[in-house]
Structure 1
Amino acid sequence: MTFKPALLSALVAAVAMPAFAQNIAVVNGKAIPSSRAEAVVKQVVAQGQQPDTPQLREMVKKDLIAREVMMQEAIKRGFDKDATVKAQLENVRQSLVVNALAKEYMTKNPISDAEMKAEYDRFKAQAGDKEYHVRHILVETEADAKAVIAKLKAGSKFEDLAKTSKDAGTANNGGDLDWATPTSFPKPFSDAFVSLKKGEVAAAPVQTPNGFHVIKLDDTRAAKLPTFDEVKPQIAEAMAQKKLMAYQDAMVKKAKVQ
């Protein structure tokens, strides 16, 4: 079989096309591979920023060309040999490589639904079945706190005295800390209000790293905890981080560190 010249030229062109398609552009002799553009497009689409359209691809192409031009100029001026830049590049390289290792580890050692459910059940047990509406007045010293408690016993209103609180975020709203579970507070603080009755003020000040607190319980109600499905992504992320830290700690222990 013989091919006519026109047909032969068309076939040669068709065979050559994939080679040209490997690059989106050539800038001062330096090729920009289409795979780089594809990776950027996929990332933008995956993040939900824009759909995959010809306009997006043209924008990515222009951006990569501009970046390549700037990169060539930066290298020409020696910035790639700058000590600070080289140190930053090494940090980025380490992050990328370590992240790849972590991704592979979690792929091979995923967190199971059963593990996440068990973690959720532990959270529910710790949180308890009640929420507490609490107010507080934060002062500098124990003596100051006792003086506040004495004024309350003498008939002063909690909301009025709360205006002197060191907690600027609650001083102007009567010391209101809103509804929360005991696990939302330091244990000495929560231990003080869970034993109170509605409307009661703790008989003694409670000390935390922030100072001394005078605590009042306004009310209680059944806890409105999120469902397992609502917090499953957060549980998965927290447990993955914990698993990765254990993996890292195990490798550090095996390493010869001098």
Structure 2
Amino acid sequence: MTQRYPAALTAMLALALAACSGGKAPDGLPAGLPVAETVNGQPVPQVLLEALARGRELDLSVPEQRERALKELTDYVLLAQEADKQGFARDAVFAAEVEISRLQGIANASIVRIRNEATIDDSVLKGEYDQQTARAGSAQYDFTQLLFDKEETALAVADEAMSKPFAEVFDAWRGKALQAGAYPGVHLNQIPEPLAKVLATLKAGETSKVPVQTPYGWHVVHVTATTPFTPPKFDDVKDGIRATLVAQLSDRRLEKLRSDAKIEVATPTTTEPAPPAPADAAR
């Protein structure tokens, strides 16, 4: 399976090349690596071409795709060389944009590495699968809802729905709701738990008698249809469950790094851009 890299990877390639000049290898890469090309005397390692190809989902064994990757990488090298020649990095704003792209690239590549190195036993995946299928229930629901920010408004709507067709109530209040819409084929594990509990008690054609509160507001829901639901087999969704759990693990690791770090926020300041280079130096 091809690994999809973040867009910031492209910036990392250019940044690695911007740090080098002449025949020197890019900073952060060991010397003596196989070379993909040489541009104005500067060797460009094959690993950079491979990284770009992964990010663009290009197959280097296909001549046309290799040519496309090489052209893009060559452009990065030429622009990095020009930036070095013109002294663009003397400008604080330019240097800051380069540095933030470098940090983004390192952060994104680190997340990919952390996730690739995470191991989760199949028994854990099966336990998560069992929990999800239990929460999903044995039915899926087509329902319509009106969402409000105030309980008193939602109560008025719910009361009105007890004596009028819900379609009529929906049309009358949809313009005043935070959200109004129809949702087909919803499983109970896809919505907030308070709403799921109420939805599970309703049959087709029924409306919630009182509004349901969730972090999003106050919901008035009307079930239009229910159909039986058979969960997919464990082997068919195992990889997706693993990806979700790995993402949660990496998020928790980042949260721990943040909580363990000593962070001191400075008083906001404005950085003045450096004066432009003299005309003769630019030439």
**Deviation (angstroms), 1:188:** 2.8
Out of 96, 113, 132, the position equivalent to 1:87 is: 96
Q: Verify: 1:161 aligned to 2:172, yes or no.
A: no
Distance verdict in 2 for CA 1:24–1:235, change over 3 Å:
same
Out of 242, 263, 271, the position equivalent to 1:236 is: 242
Is residue 23–residue 31 contact of structure 1 (8 Å, CA) maintained in 2? Answer: no
Distance verdict in 2 for CA 1:101–1:36, change over 3 Å:
closer
Q: 3-state DSSP class of the match of 1:232?
A: helix
Q: 3-state DSSP class of the match of 1:24?
A: strand
What RMSD over aligned residues (CA atoms) do the two structures have, in Å? 3.5
Q: Which amino acid is the alignment partner of residue 116 of structure 1?
A: L
Distance 1:213 1:253 in 2: 36
Q: Verify: 1:112 aligned to 2:121, yes or no.
A: yes
**TM-score, structure 1 as length reference:** 0.69
Distance verdict in 2 for CA 1:66–1:135, change over 3 Å:
closer
**Deviation (angstroms), 1:180:** 1.4
Distance verdict in 2 for CA 1:37–1:160, change over 3 Å:
same
**Deviation (angstroms), 1:139:** 4.6
Q: 3-state DSSP class of the match of 2:227?
A: strand
Q: 3-state DSSP class of the match of 2:219?
A: strand
Distance verdict in 2 for CA 1:76–1:198, change over 3 Å:
same
Q: Percent identity?
A: 25
Task: Please identify the structure whose Cα radius of gyration is greater.
Answer: 1
* 1:52-73, Cα deviation, whole Å (9 max, x unpaired): 2333334444443333332222
Distance 1:65 1:203 in 2: 66
Q: 3-state DSSP class of the match of 2:210?
A: coil
* Residue number in structure 1 paired with 2:200: 194
**Deviation (angstroms), 1:209:** 4.8
Is residue 41–residue 52 contact of structure 1 (8 Å, CA) maintained in 2? Answer: no
* Residue number in structure 2 paired with 1:207: 213
Is residue 131–residue 180 contact of structure 1 (8 Å, CA) maintained in 2? Answer: yes
**Deviation (angstroms), 1:162:** 1.0
**Deviation (angstroms), 1:110:** 1.5
Distance verdict in 2 for CA 1:215–1:56, change over 3 Å:
closer
**TM-score, structure 2 as length reference:** 0.64
Distance 1:209 1:43 in 2: 40
Q: Which amino acid is the alignment partner of residue 24 of structure 1?
A: E
Q: 3-state DSSP class of the match of 1:242?
A: helix
**Deviation (angstroms), 1:22:** 4.1
Distance 1:70 1:76 in 2: 10
Distance 1:85 1:101 in 2: 24
Gaps of 5+ in 1: 1-18, 171-175
Query: Relative to total residues, which structure has the larger helix share, 1 or 2?
Result: 1
Q: Verify: 1:121 aligned to 2:130, yes or no.
A: yes
**Deviation (angstroms), 1:123:** 1.2
Q: 3-state DSSP class of the match of 1:217?
A: strand
Distance verdict in 2 for CA 1:91–1:201, change over 3 Å:
same
* 1:178-235, Cα deviation, whole Å (9 max, x unpaired): 2212232223322323223432222222334554433223333322433333333332
